[in-house]
Structure 1
């Protein structure tokens, strides 16, 4: 049962080299897909380009289906996968801040680094803003600590929280993705008629 490359076969040095190679490949794919363009990324919020929504929704659906098939085949153990802890208000406030930054700057943290790598000046400004935000948060941590650690719900999943089998959650997420793709195409066509 997972990981697919068992511990002991690769040394720590090789794990680092593989991580760097995966990171480079991911950055190359982001750039090749046009995701280092703030106009393309902000297009989701303005309704003229839904490539980001489609790519990331597709990645989520393919990943969850692939993971559950690998679990079914005995290649991995889903019970061993890490579940990120849920802090409700921290997630809401942090998501709102990131959302405003995403709309205002046209980048998310990952795509901003991709754009920095190819020399985009607006991305440098965005990354500098991220660093300022990190500095402010770290220096004023005692002010934000209650929000940061409050409303902890534990290591929950949709299946655990709603007592619904995984197959129905996966079917629901897949249906949501297909509906989102359909609706986004309608919105994009209407925006295109109005502005172009």
Structure 2
């Protein structure tokens, strides 16, 4: 959520305070969207509730267009934005582990904390699993290091990887989002579920 322009416009303490407020706002939006409900989250995978899909695609295309236009107007230098390095094998293994947990229980780390903040005790199992996983990975890192660092790809963006311009990739992602919205609506009609 940051850092904002630290030491030039605002102090580091103000930056942390603003990040705290942004975090509260983000949690409020998650809860208002129903993301603290494991049934709603799991519903995405079973097809009866695609709210999560719609919200995340909407957020992705909003952020994408915002950054693209900010770059075009010269307000943001995209070359200065940090991109996490890609280690393909560990990304795939981590994605499978997290995806399996998400499907089985209906929580990811962020939504589990959102749920526990409003008193949903089933989220405790996922928060406990999160901390067990962190400790196991940290303590067992020498065993996992080779897998963790396998297939280093640098820091490519998807449009660079596909050989597309930013504008063309943005258009394609927006088209894919509208396609997924249509698929989501179709799935909700095809696999209806009583209100929960």
TM-score range relative to shorter protein? over 0.9
Asked if 2 retains the 8 angstrom alpha-carbon contact of 1:113 and 1:123, the reply is: yes
- What per-residue deviation string (whole Å, max 9, x for no partner) do you get for residues 144-194 of structure 1? 1111111100011123223211111001111110001101111110111xx
Residue 184 of structure 1 corresponds to 184
Residue 7 of structure 1: CA displacement? 4.1
Residue 42 of structure 1 corresponds to 42
Residue 130 of structure 2 corresponds to 130
Q: Please show how residues 54-93 of structure 1 align to structure 2 within 5 Å.
A: 54-93=54-93
Q: Please show how residues 1-196 of structure 1 align to structure 2 within 5 Å.
A: 5=5, 7-192=7-192
- What per-residue deviation string (whole Å, max 9, x for no partner) do you get for residues 113-153 of structure 1? 01111111100111011111111111111111111111100
Asked if 2 retains the 8 angstrom alpha-carbon contact of 1:4 and 1:76, the reply is: no
Structure 2 SS opposite 1:121:
coil
The CA RMSD over aligned residues, in Å, is 1.4
Residue 28 of structure 1: CA displacement? 1.1
Structure 1 SS opposite 2:153:
strand
Structure 2 SS opposite 1:153:
strand
Residue 78 of structure 1: CA displacement? 1.1
Residue 5 of structure 1: CA displacement? 4.6
Residue 97 of structure 1: CA displacement? 0.1
Segments of 5+ residues of structure 2 without an aligned counterpart are none
Residue 12 of structure 1: CA displacement? 0.8
Structure 1 CA distance for aligned equivalents of residues 135 and 181 of structure 2: 38
Write 1 or 2 for the structure with the bigger share of helix.
1
